[in-house]
Amino acid sequence: MIAVSKRLEGIGEYYFSQKLAEIAEMNKQGEAVINLGIGSPDMPPHPEVIQVLQEEAMKPNVHGYQSYKGAEVLRNAFAQWYKKWYGAELNPATEILPLIGSKEGIMHICMTYLNEGDIALIPNPGYPTYRSAVQLAGGKCLEYELKEENNWLIDFVALEQQDLSKVKLMWVNYPQMPTGQLPTKKFFEELVAFGKKRNILICHDNPYSFILNETPMSLLSIEGAKDVAVELNSLSKASNMAGWRVGVLCGAKERINEVLVFKSNMDSGMFLPVQLAATKALSLGKEWYDGLNAVYRKRRIKAYELLDLLKCTHSADQVGMFVWAKIPLKYKNGYELSDEILYGARVFITPGGIFGSAGEKYVRVSLCATEEKFEESIQRIKNNLKN
C-alpha cells in the first residue's frame, strides 16, 4: 500500500468538491438541484474579450511556452488598471506577476515564505484555502476571529494579546469573503501599521472589490504598504473569467522576485491568447462594471427575499457576489439549515461553518444564478415549508 505524504494529513477534500459530487448524483437521479452555493459567475466575459481570444488563438505563432513573468502587455494593463481604479502606482516591469488564477498565488506565497512550523494568521470566518495552503506548506495556522459586532473587521487590540512571536505572514481579505464587509482607509492604515510593528508579511486577497461596490480599494494604495504587504487580485469575478484562470500578484520588487523563484518551478506560463484577452478585459470602462452590478443588484433583492423566507437576518451593507446571513435560533448550525432545504426543496446554499467556527451560525447565498432560478428556489422553499 502506498501511503500519502504527511502534508495531506488533516487537509481533507475541499468541501465544495464533496458537496458538488453529491449534488451531481442527485441530479443524475432527476432531482434538478438549484445550486446557490458556488461563486462561479454564470455570465460570459465582454464579447470583445472573447473575440480577442478567438482571433489570437488562430495565429500560428502564439502556442509556445510563455514568459514566467507574463507578457509585458498584460503587466502594463494590470499597472494601468491599478492606477485607474485603485490609485495605486505599480511598476509593471518589477511589481506585477500574472498568475494562472489567484488561488495559485495563495499556494505560491505560502511555499515561498513558510518553513516547517512557521505560523500564519488566518481569518475566522475566511476562505478555506488559506488554511489548507498554510498547512500544505508545512506551516501552522493561528486564527484571528472576526465578529459581527465589530463589523467583521480585525480587532487589533485582541490580536495583540496573542503570542505573535512566530507569526511570519497574515492572510487578509477585504471586501471580506464570506461576510461581504468593506474595508475603510483607516482600517487598511491600521493593518499596514500592524504588519510593520510585528514584522509580518500582510497577504491581501482582493478579488471582490468591484462587485456591488462603487469604491474599489487596494491595500497597496496605502502609503508604505509595499514595505510589508503583497496583494492578490483576479479577473474571475469582476470580468466573468473564472475558468480562464487569470490572476495577479502585486508588491515590491523583492517580493515578486522571491515568489517567482517558486512559481517558475511550478508552471510554464499562461497561454498568450488568454493573456491578450485579459489585457482587453482590463481596459474595459465603468459601463462594464455598472452593467454587471445592475444584474447582481436585482439578484441580491431575490436573495434577500429567499433568506427572509428562511427567517435569516442579514446586513444591507455587504458587497461582493454573496449574501451572508445569520440563521434562526431553532437551527443548531448552518449545516442543518443547508441540508434541510437541499433535501427538502432541492436548493443548495452554503453553510457558514465551512469558513470556520465563527461562521457556524450563518449561511451564504451566491448571486451566481439567474433571477428565474431565484424565483424557482423561493417557490420550492415555500412549498417545502407548507409540507
Query: pLDDT tens digits, residue range 227-281?
Result: 999 999 999 999 999 999 999 999 999 999 999 999 999 988 999 999 999 999 9
Q: What's the CATH code, domain 49-282?
A: 3.40.640.10
Residue 183, pLDDT > 90, answer: yes
Count of C-beta atoms within a 10 Å radius of residue 376: 17
CATH 3.40.640.10 domain position(s) in the chain: 49-282
CATH 3.90.1150.10 domain position(s) in the chain: 6-44+287-386
Query: What whole-number percentage of the chain has pLDDT above 90?
Result: 88
| pLDDT for res 161 | 93
Residue 14, pLDDT > 70, answer: no
| pLDDT for res 17 | 73
Q: Which residue has the higher pLDDT, 302 or 9?
A: 302
In this prediction the pTM is: 0.94
Residue 33, pLDDT > 80, answer: yes
Residue 15, pLDDT > 80, answer: no
CA distance 207 to 169: 19
pLDDT tens digits, one per residue of 84-98: 999 999 999 999 999
Residue 226, pLDDT > 90, answer: yes
| pLDDT for res 308 | 96
Mean pLDDT lowest for which of 29-38, 233-242, 372-381?
Answer: 29-38
- Residue 362's pLDDT band, with cuts at 50, 70 and 90, is very high
Report, as an integer, the average pLDDT of 334-345: 94
Mean pLDDT lowest for which of 8-12, 164-168, 352-356?
Answer: 8-12
- Residue 9's pLDDT band, with cuts at 50, 70 and 90, is confident
| pLDDT for res 18 | 79
b/e for 95-132, b at 16 or more Cβ within 10 A?
A: bbbbbbbbbbbbbbbbbbbbeeebbbbbbbbbbbbbbb
Report, as an integer, the average pLDDT of 301-324: 96
Query: What whole-number percentage of the chain has pLDDT above 70?
Result: 98
The torsion of the CA quartet 275, 277, 280, 285, rounded to 10 degrees, works out to -110
- Residue 8's pLDDT band, with cuts at 50, 70 and 90, is confident
CA distance 73 to 66: 13
| pLDDT for res 231 | 98
Fold of 6-44+287-386: Aspartate Aminotransferase, domain 1 (3.90.1150)
Report, as an integer, the average pLDDT of 52-58: 97
| pLDDT for res 4 | 80
What are phi and psi for residue 346, nearest 5 degrees? 60, 45
Query: Using H for helix, E for strand and C for coil, what is the string for the chain?
Result: CCCCCHHHCCCCCCHHHHHHHHHHHHHHCCCCCEECCCCCCCCCCCHHHHHHHHHHHCCCCCCCCCCCCCCHHHHHHHHHHHHHHHCCCCCCCCCEEEECCHHHHHHHHHHHHCCCCCEEEEEECCCHHHHHHHHHCCCEEEEEECCHHHCCCCCHHHHHCCCCCCEEEEEECCCCCCCCCCCCHHHHHHHHHHHHHHCCEEEEECCCCCCCCCCCCCHHHCCCHHHCEEEEEECCCCCCCHHHCCEEEECCHHHHHHHHHHHCCCCCCCCHHHHHHHHHHHCCCHHHHHHHHHHHHHHHHHHHHHHHHCCCEECCCCCCCEEEEECCCCCCCHHHHHHHHHHHHCEECEEHHHHCHHHCCEEEEECCCCHHHHHHHHHHHHHHHHC
| pLDDT for res 380 | 95
